[in-house]
């Protein structure tokens, strides 16, 4: 499909292990910084795709509260499994784990 979903998936799939990305970041990389909602919408369908949607979090560094796999709790475990530190219950330090395309 030539939908933006595929485009978004391609970007999310490029996120290196041990790093995270934000919806705004994906939206920007996919072409429009305003389509953050569309990114989330695409993630909602990522269940059937091999996309590390658990590495995609809020621009605030918080995990998605409506995560469709097992809730923020499951996502948090996945991130910690990647080597990412999760503060409190559902917050990631973007200053350390935010994925940078430049690298």
Partner DNA sequence: ATATTGACGGGCA
Partner DNA sequence: GTGCCCGCCAATA
Q: Which residues bind DNA (CB under 7 A)?
A: 3-5, 22-24, 27, 32, 34-41, 43-47, 53, 56, 58-60, 64-69
C-alpha 25/C-alpha 32 separation (Å) is: 10
Rounded to a whole number of angstroms, the minimum distance from the CB of residue 66 to DNA is 4
Rounded to a whole number of angstroms, the minimum distance from the CB of residue 103 to DNA is 21
C-alpha 56/C-alpha 77 separation (Å) is: 14
Rounded to a whole number of angstroms, the minimum distance from the CB of residue 93 to DNA is 16
Q: Is the dihedral of CA 64, 53, 94, 33 positive or negative?
A: negative
Question: Quick check: is 46 catalytic?
Answer: no
C-alpha 99/C-alpha 47 separation (Å) is: 22
| From 53, 79, 84, 92, active-site residue | 53
Positions marked active-site: 53
């Amino acid at each position: 499909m030539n939908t933006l979903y595929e485009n978004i998936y391609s970007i999310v799939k490029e996120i290196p292990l041990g790093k995270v990305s934000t919806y705004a970041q994906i939206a920007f990389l996919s072409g429009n910084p305003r389509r953050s909602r569309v990114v989330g919408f695409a993630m909602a369908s990522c269940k059937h795709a091999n996309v590390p949607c658990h590495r995609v979090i809020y621009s605030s560094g918080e995990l998605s509260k409506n995560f469709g796999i097992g809730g923020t709790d499951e996502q948090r475990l996945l991130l910690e499994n990647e080597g990412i530190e999760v503060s409190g219950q559902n917050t990631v330090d973007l200053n350390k784990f935010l994925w940078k395309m430049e690298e």
